[in-house]
Amino acid sequence: MYNNDVKFSLWCDFIQRDFLDGEFKELVNDKIINGATSNPAIFKSAFGTEIYKTAVKNSDKRHPKTLYEILATQDIKIAATRLIKNYANDDDGFVSIEVDPTLSNDTEATIAEGVRLYNSIKMPNVMIKIPATKAGFDAMSELISQGININATLIFSPEQAKGCLDAFKKGSEIYAKRYPNTPLPKGVISIFVSRFDRLLDAKMASKNLPTAQIGIMNATKIYHIIQDQNLPNVRALFASTGVKGDELRADYYVRELMFANSINTAPLDTIKAFIKEKTQPKTPSSKENINAFFQVVKNAQIDIEAAYKELLSDGLMAFEIAFDDIMRNLS
């Protein structure tokens, strides 16, 4: 745990073979990170490097999705092995792999793929990452009920978070009845942050409202919802915490969201910037302050509900495009 006093974890949002074999081990051993996440965009970038091209060339498999899963699950298993001591010590130690993003509206296919990926990796500290869609909620519940850890991703709205919480609660209750007196599978709710500011900051500035704030306030609102539910096996995870450009310090979103009982998964450069100097945990803005903030936003005719829909649609599309690009490149 990066900060044991407040149970704040720092996970690395990056997976690549040479990194896992080198710097990743150092970050884990130095107790800087205690978890990792991946997504199709990360694997798309990684698979363009020579080590993966050589692996593909030497493989006797030719179906692109089969090749992808071999490469991705190998990396996830390496990361899980590096993190297994953390997991054994109840210090997170999780690594996430996402189901095929084109399945985001297919519950049964998502369940089948989640089970297959989890069983193929054969590590207890793997999380199956599922987009927070209506079909995704049902898949999350079923997989949790089977004892599979879940990372619910692409959460932008409070309603999505509530859907995840309902799914985790239902699945956990079923699991507890099936396997009493055993630890519950874990779940994280990945709240995306910086994309709000990139989408809305120009509008905020035009209304003389503060910039680089709406993503943090929205994330904090969702954090309160998760904390209030008080599910023992579920935590808030802040994602999309890298910055674009030089207007903000590189670790801005990690510092501003260093809340108790939370996780921040960040790009490697963001982590390096964050650990350069000691940071004190933050006290989240109150619910009253958050509600007042969003009332001001509403009065300025900035449509946050439209932003929720646009960001989710864009996020799903970006992962699908990255996945399709991987399939084409492996063909």
Active site residues: 129
How far is the C-alpha of 291 from the C-alpha of 75, rounded, in Å? 42
In contact, 257 and 193? CB cutoff 8 Å? yes
How far apart are alpha carbons 71 and 75 in whole angstroms?
Answer: 6
What SS3 class is residue 199? Answer: helix
Question: Which value, to the nearest 10 degrees, does the dihedral of the CA atoms of residues 240, 245, 247, 251 take?
Answer: 40
CA–CA distance, 167 with 243 (Å, rounded to integer): 31
3-state secondary structure at position 69: helix
Q: What are phi and psi of 292, to 5 degrees?
A: -65, -40
Q: Answer whether 128's CB lies under 8 Å from 118's CB.
A: yes
CA distances from residue 195 to 2, 97, 191, 233 in whole angstroms, order as listed: 25, 21, 11, 27
DSSP label of 61: -
Query: Which residue's entry shows tokens 């898949």?
Result: 139
Cα 252 from chain centroid? 18
Under 8 Å CB-to-CB from 138, ≥6 apart: which residues?
107, 167
190: three-class secondary structure by DSSP: strand
| β-bridge mates for residue 10, sequence order | 264
